Structure 1
Amino acid sequence: MSLLKIPRTKPSSVAQGVSVWEWSGSAFDEGEKAAKWFSDYLGKQSRWFETETRPSPLQFAPDYTTTFANTFPFIGCLSEPVPMNRFRPNIIVDNCDPFGEDLWDEVMIKELVFQGVVRLCSRSKLPSVNQETGVSGCN
Structure 2
Amino acid sequence: MAVDEHLMHALVQAARAARERAYAPYSKFLVGAALLDDHGRLHAGCNIENAAYPQSQCAEASAIAHLVLTGSRRILAAAVVGVAEEPVTPCGGCRQRLREFADETMPIWVADLQIVRAHYTLGQLLPASFGPSHLG
Per the normalisation by structure 2, the TM-score is: 0.27
Which structure is higher in helix share?
2
Higher radius of gyration, 1 or 2: 1
- Report 1 or 2 for greater relative contact order, CA contacts < 8 Å, sequence distance ≥ 6: 2
